[in-house]
Amino acid sequence: MSTLDKILSAGRRARDASGALLGQNWGKSGWKASGRALAAGEVPQRIIPGPPPSAAGDEESLDVWGFKDTGFSIDARGVVKLTGTRYELCGEELPNLVPWIEDVMAIQIEPRDVHESAYPVKIPEPIRNAAFQDAIRTFLAEDQLTDAPQIRLRHGHGHTQEEMYAIKYGQVKRVPDLVVYPSEEEHVIRMVELAKEHGCCLIPYGGGTNVTDALKCPADEKRTIVSVDMRRMNRVLWIDPANRIACIQSGAVGRHIAKQLADYGFTMGHEPDSIEFSTLGGWIATHASGMKKNKYGNIEDIVQDFNAVTSDGLLARHDINPREAVGADPRRFMFGSEGNLGIITQAIVKLFPLPEVQRYGSVLFPDFRSGVAFMYDLQQEGTPPASVRLVDNIQFQFSMALKPAKTGIAVQKSRLEKLFVTKVKGFDPEKMVACTLVFEGPDAEVSNQEDTVYRLATRHGGMKAGGENGRKGYQLTFGIAYIRDFVMKHYVIAESFETSVPWSKAIQLCDNVKRRVNKEHAAAVLPGRPFITCRVTQVYQTGVCIYFYLAFSYKGVKDPSHAFAQIELAARDEILQSGGSLSHHHGVGKLRKKFLPQIMSDAALSWNARTKQAVDPDNIFGVRNQQMADEMSFDVPVAPAANSKTDSDRAANSTAAKAKTAVKAKAMRKPAAKKTTSKAPARKNPARKKASPKSSPAN
């Protein structure tokens, strides 16, 4: 059972207990949403839950992903294990993993050959602003601010490969100078006022899980950079059971939100794979998406309202109503604002009753195409279950390689199953793929969905593979998040990236990206073969979200992180050329900002830049994500064009990209700007044509 499953079933038990406690129309699915009770005025008052669950024993690692007590290790035999007890995989011997990786990537992994981490690499000295620090001490306690080097380092990065490589093997140019922990909205308001008065730069910090360099500090920022860590603003302030909404502080982490709402029979239904560590504020600021969005929606569907402290003051509303037409709503700008515009302090979210039943499912398909065809029909003809995911053949094999060692009867059973699938059903092990499903809702609705799923699966040659395999597939999600930092020690560098794309272009996009990665890997003469695999993680009426994993061996490679960035940028370029979006849910940050001119018109970019200039003229929120702030302070490698081979081609592309940045910087510059150091000439960007007119999803 996963941590979340445990939370939800404990929640169901607690809900019944709280029903008895609250004594008002509480039943098996939370407060009984009875119209009669509502009309009679018998609705429960707002509930004020207690403090969030204790985080004692949940210490997080500073140099790698996840909880400190959990991590992959390898013994002298090459057998891999996940330490700790948090996940089902923990403690199991995984003898097939390394041999499988070696085979797929055409490399050798020698257990004793470890790239020793130099964490923490040299941490820059803080730039102090004594007047600001003295002023915030008048309302913050001594334990609400720190300039401890490793804490500052942790607040200056998320989880991109480039950042995780840099803190262990590279160098870090700039990190926050001070970390503060406000515990109420008033602290944030006063902090912003003081930052304006004393000339500081503020960067909001949620869980630090972003994968877009969104927390990376601009290298040339001369002001004191203050990381505003929201972890102490972590309470569910109230739950309104009758109207199914809750008000939650923005620093609350997903796993605590899930637990507290489940105690009262509710869920907000937002379950990103990072739910254990990411926060409500971070979700809004990055435009996040959870695995069960089919049933509950993406973050923008779930969040009804929020407060945000900006340079201009507090964005807030007096009432919260189901839908309004009140003109342009400035708070919409905060979705995807990535720390550029202000600090979200609390949000009101929709609630759903905990599902009456939750069941898993899985289906095998002969190949990726038939799997996509099935998903298309499911989306068009039925109501897709809460989650439906399709992994390609490599990812399917990967999940097999992660299976614990079998003994006794289990060996025989597994052999027979394999024989049945390959010999009787005729599936090719090198082509077959798997689809995993989570059904949630009332029993009748779930049964109905199951009927539709398995009927449509048969139409596409699918074979039912059981609920247990489905459950295990989802179970792996949280465990395998630890694998990237583990393989990095063994000279394998890895990263995931995602896109959304119309149905009609989905299969082609996957093929194109895989082909391009292989081509770039060969051109760069890197060791072995690249690991490039994808899965379809979300379905929409109009298309899908596709998630890629990319890895390669960096043994003997001079600048692995740079080599990786080049291939990843090429892959992103291929995604855009194949009709995909710049991002489905990870966002832009600094990693993808150079692509913005390719996807937005001049006017659209200018609106963003001028909004930032108008609402934050002193650039207090100076994290410089996207192209909202002034000029970029450091170079991000630029993807070579699809067929450019020579160095001069690459240089030309790089110059063009710098020029694009300069154009944007100009749109943004204040009349009295102190610093304008653009080196490249400002000129119109021909690639901009792509942005309009909008191409039809059907072409």
Ligand X SMILES: Cc1cc2nc3c(=O)[nH]c(=O)nc-3n(C[C@H](O)[C@H](O)[C@H](O)COP(=O)(O)OP(=O)(O)OC[C@H]3O[C@@H](n4cnc5c(N)ncnc54)[C@H](O)[C@@H]3O)c2cc1C
What's the rounded Cα separation, in Å, for the pair 11 and 266? 8
Name which of 158 and 527 has its Cβ closer to ligand X. 158
Phi, psi of 296 (to 5 degrees): -105, -15
Interface mask toward ligand X for 219-248; x: CB under 6 A: -----------x------------------
Would you count residue 289 as binding ligand X (CB under 6 A)?
A: yes
Decide if residue 549 touches ligand X (CB under 6 A): no
Structure tokens at 585: 């849910």
609 is a site residue for ligand X (CB under 6 A)? no
Do 331 and 442 form a contact (C-beta atoms < 8 A)? no
Whether the Cβ atoms of residue 498 and residue 546 lie closer than 8 Å to each other: yes
Residue 343 lies near ligand X (rule: CB under 6 A): yes
Would residue 547 show up in a list of annotated catalytic residues for this protein?
A: yes
| Cβ 69 to ligand X shortest distance, Å | 17
Residues that contact ligand X, how many (by CB under 6 A): 36
Using CB under 6 A, which of the segments 54-62, 284-292, 312-320, 464-472 binds ligand X?
Answer: 284-292
Site stretch for ligand X (CB under 6 A), options 25-33, 105-113, 201-209, 691-699? 201-209
- Smallest distance, ligand X to C-beta of residue 626, A: 10
Nearest CA to 223 out of 127, 341, 356, 358 is that of 127
Measured CA to CA, the distance from residue 142 to residue 154 in angstroms comes to 20
Query: Of the candidates 313, 68, 285, which has an alpha carbon nearest to the alpha carbon of residue 188?
Result: 313
Residue window 483-522: x/- pattern of binding to ligand X, with contact defined by CB under 6 A: ----------------------------------------
Q: Report the distance separating Cα 41 and Cα 642, nearest Å.
A: 65
Handedness of CA 632, 635, 641, 647 (dihedral sign): positive
Using CB under 6 A, pick the residue from 11, 30, 52, 206 that binds ligand X.
Answer: 206
Catalytic residue among 205, 547, 549, 554: 547
Q: Is 298 helix (H, G, I), strand (E, B) or coil?
A: coil
Binding piece for ligand X, criterion CB under 6 A, among 92-100, 282-290, 554-562, 654-662: 282-290
CB 500 within 8 A of CB 580: yes
Q: Pick the binder of ligand X from 44, 52, 158, 640 (CB under 6 A).
A: 158
CA dist., res. 287 & res. 106, Å (int): 38
180 is a site residue for ligand X (CB under 6 A): no
If the CB atoms of residues 480 and 576 are measured against ligand X, the closer one turns out to be 480
Copy the structure tokens of residue 326.
Answer: 């009140």
Of these, 11, 30, 207, 637, which contacts ligand X (CB under 6 A)?
207
Beta strands in 486-630 (DSSP E): 492-502, 531-539, 543-553
**Taking the complex as a whole, how short is the minimal distance between the CB of residue 308 and ligand X, in angstroms?**
7
Q: Which residues of 272-301 are buried (b: 16+ CB within 10 A; e: fewer)?
A: bbbbbbbbbbbbbbbbbbbbbbbbbbbbee
Residue 543 binding ligand X, by CB under 6 A = no
SS3 of residue 536 by DSSP: strand
Q: Pick the closest to residue 551 from 104, 170, 111, 80 (CA basis).
A: 104
- The contacts of residue 152 (CB under 8 Å, 6+ apart) are 123, 126, 146, 175, 176, 177, 178, 179, 227
Taking CB under 6 A as the criterion, the residue among 92, 273, 450, 602 binding ligand X is 273
Note the Cα 452 to chain centre separation in Å. Answer: 30
| Nearest residue to ligand X, by Cβ distance, number only | 282
Among 165, 283, 360, 552, contact with ligand X (rule: CB under 6 A): 283
- Other Cβ atoms less than 10 A from the Cβ of 77: the count is 10
Q: Pattern 621-650, binding to ligand X, x per CB under 6 A?
A: --x-x-------------------------
- Judged by CB, which is closer to ligand X: 343, or 534? 343
Give the residue, chosen from 30, 44, 204, 502, that forms a contact with ligand X under the rule CB under 6 A.
204
From candidates 129, 133, 274, 393, binder to ligand X by CB under 6 A: 274
Task: Please give the Cα distance from 146 to 224 (Å, whole number).
Answer: 13
Residue selected from 161, 278, 370, 379 as contacting ligand X according to rule CB under 6 A: 278
- In the complex, what is the shortest distance from the CB of residue 146 to ligand X, in angstroms, rounded to a whole number? 17
**Residue closest to 151 by CA, chosen among 218, 229, 241:** 229
Reported residue count of the chain is 699
Only one of the segments 53-61, 235-243, 276-284, 419-427 lies at the binding site for ligand X (rule: CB under 6 A); that segment is 276-284
**Run of H or E residues at 521:** helix 503-523
Site map for ligand X, 574-593, x if CB under 6 A? -----------xx-------
Q: Single out the residue of 657, 543, 681 nearest to residue 592, CA to CA.
A: 657
Check: CB of residue 668 under 8 Å from CB of residue 609.
Answer: yes
Instruction: Choose the binding region for ligand X from 126-134, 239-247, 285-293, 628-636 (rule: CB under 6 A).
Output: 285-293
Of positions 74, 101, 164, 215, contacts ligand X by CB under 6 A: 215
> Which amino acids are annotated catalytic?
547
Interacting residues with ligand X (CB under 6 A):
158-159, 203-211, 214-215, 230, 250, 272-274, 278-279, 281-283, 285-286, 288-289, 338-339, 343-344, 481, 585-586, 623, 625
